[in-house]
Amino acid sequence: MRPEATPGTGARPDRLGIQVGVQGGGRLAALCLNMATFAVILSALSPTEYGRAALAVTLAYILGTAAAFGIDPTVFRGLSVGEVDGHGLGAAFVLRLALASAVGLVAVGVVLALPDSPMRTPLLVAFAAMPVGALVTLQQVLRARVRLVPFAIADVAGSVIALGLVIVFSLRGMEPVDVVLATVLPNLVVYLGLAVPACRALRPRVAWRRFAGDARAILRRSRMIAVGDATVVTYYRADVVALGATTGGAALGVYAAVYRFVDIAMYAQTIVIGAFFPRIARAWSDPAALRATLVQVGGLLLALATIAFITVVTLGPAVIELFGGDSYGDTTVLVVILMTVTALMFLNRLLIQTLIAGGFGGRQAVCWVGGLTGAGLAFPLSALYAERGAGVAMLIGEVLVLGIAAVQLRRLGALPRPPAPGPRAIAFAAAAVAALVAAYLPDTARLPAGVVLTLGTAAVLLLGLRSGGGLRGVDDPVA
């Protein structure tokens, strides 16, 4: 990949807040639509059927991440610091498509060779759609240039399509494969839609005479990120695989239903870290500026994680009970465990992405040793304690990842000192404790408390952002 530093690829300081706000608004609208989709699925499928769909999507995600070979974050960083041009982007896309197609074809062949089972059709659809993921490589252009409005539009459009599909499927009787289709078809439409502005911003070009060299350069830079990605996806999806292997059936469906809240909450950290990533990559040349940025972003992420925790632990179990009925049981304990895991994930993603932004692929891969420890524990804990055991294994893994990542950044001189807690931090901590207490109250008290605490903490965050200038000044135009 040859450098092509293009002036103006960063977001203007006075525009970044607008970009993040628009994408956040799009994500909020999509969240409402996704909850409606989730409700239709819960009301149409039993926990066992939902578990089959979740397992098929999970296995395809694991293989797709392995096939991606760390190419997307490598391209994202290269574009952020001006090291990737159109030829590098084209080579990365072709390589990504070839790897995804090859792995998907082998996976389909393996499924066809196995005896028929209720999992066959969902797996075939999920594996056959794996090449669609190659389009994500092109999206890195928009992310690197902090052009987030197209993602907001894509979020809403994809959620509308998914909701429409599950409604149509439910009219004729929904099956597990329908959930897979409602996942892969919206992705295809959305990824194609995002590819259009991405290719206009930077046209991918493939010069076959230099393709081999560009491909080798990509793989050389991505190999350690690929190790980290393969490790992290193994860890993050080991809980579902462990439940499928040890208990299966209803336990897997209940866990997948609660984990849906984790997936939704993680969009917030993706938006924030993605917006800050270009600046973090450039700030590695100034350790003081890097530490200041990490304090700023870390504080915002912890605030968002607290709001997510409060919202889900107070309202989430009621949502599952309302639409899933008694078959999903009382999920309060599992919700508390997984939302605690989510809060740690928010901070861990920032530390991991900071290492990637600095070009320390090997160091970020080491962090996931903690994750693999959690993945290993998922099997015995799931066998002993079903879905709660899987959640505890995830919690242990996240604590270990946090410790290892912090040590790596400290050795590089990039780990900031935690600031003393101020009034807002104390208020957020108190609200989280109140939400934890309210989670075990009857619905007549829990639901109103959850709404009040969620709105109150969200208002405090918005006022804090406004009084502190919002997100102005968190990014700089590329010189």
Is residue 345 a contact partner of residue 267, using CB atoms and an 8 Å limit?
A: no
Q: Is residue 416 part of a domain?
A: yes
Could you tell me what percent of the chain has a pLDDT over 70?
Answer: 89
Amino acid code (one letter) for 201 = A
Both 198 and 229 in one domain: the answer is no
pLDDT tens digits, 125-134: 999 999 999 9
- Asked if 43 and 183 sit in the same domain, the reply is yes
pLDDT tens digit sequence for 300-327 = 999 999 999 999 999 989 888 887 777 7
Please count the residues of the chain: 479
pLDDT of residue 475: 38
The most distant pair of C-alpha atoms in the chain lies apart, rounded to whole Å, by 69
Q: Looking at residues 410-420, what average pLDDT do you find?
A: 88
Q: Which range (172-176, 244-248, 321-325, 327-331) has the least confidence? A: 244-248
Domain count along the chain: 2
Inter-residue contact 391 to 337 (CB < 8 Å): yes
Q: Are 176 and 300 within one domain? A: no
Range of the domain at 51: 1-206
The pLDDT of 242-253, averaged and rounded, is 73
Torsion angle (degrees, nearest 10) of CA 188, 1, 285, 9: -50
More confident residue, 414 or 227: 414
- What sign does the CA torsion over 383, 386, 389, 391 have? positive
Chain segment 355-368, per-residue pLDDT in tens: 988 888 778 777 77
Are 61 and 185 members of one domain? Answer: yes
Average the pLDDT over 329-338 and give the result: 90
196-223 mean pLDDT: 84
- Measure the CA–CA gap between 426 and 11, rounded to whole angstroms: 33
Q: pTM for this structure?
A: 0.67
Please state, in angstroms and rounded to a whole number, the distance separating the CA atoms of residues 101 and 446: 48
Residue 10 has pLDDT above 90, yes or no: no
228, pLDDT greater than 80 = no
Q: What is the pLDDT of residues 442-466, one digit of tens each?
A: 888 989 999 999 999 988 888 877 6
Please indicate, yes or no, if residue 474 is contained in any of the structural domains: no
- Per-residue pLDDT, averaged over 2-31, amounts to 56
| More confident call, 52 vs 137 | 137
Is the separation of the CB atoms in 449 and 441 below 8 Å?
Answer: yes
Tell me the average pLDDT of the chain. 83
Q: Is residue 456 part of a domain?
A: yes
Quote the pLDDT of residue 462. 81
- Mean predicted confidence (pLDDT) in 71-95: 85
Instruction: Please tell me the predicted confidence (pLDDT) of residue 100.
Output: 93
pLDDT score recorded for residue 230 = 66
Domain co-membership, 243 together with 172: no
Same domain, yes or no: 323 and 350: yes
Q: For the ranges 181-190, 295-304, 366-375, which has the lowest average pLDDT?
A: 366-375
Instruction: Give the pLDDT of residue 19.
Output: 61
CA distance 421 to 106: 52
* End residue of a domain, out of 151, 176, 206: 206
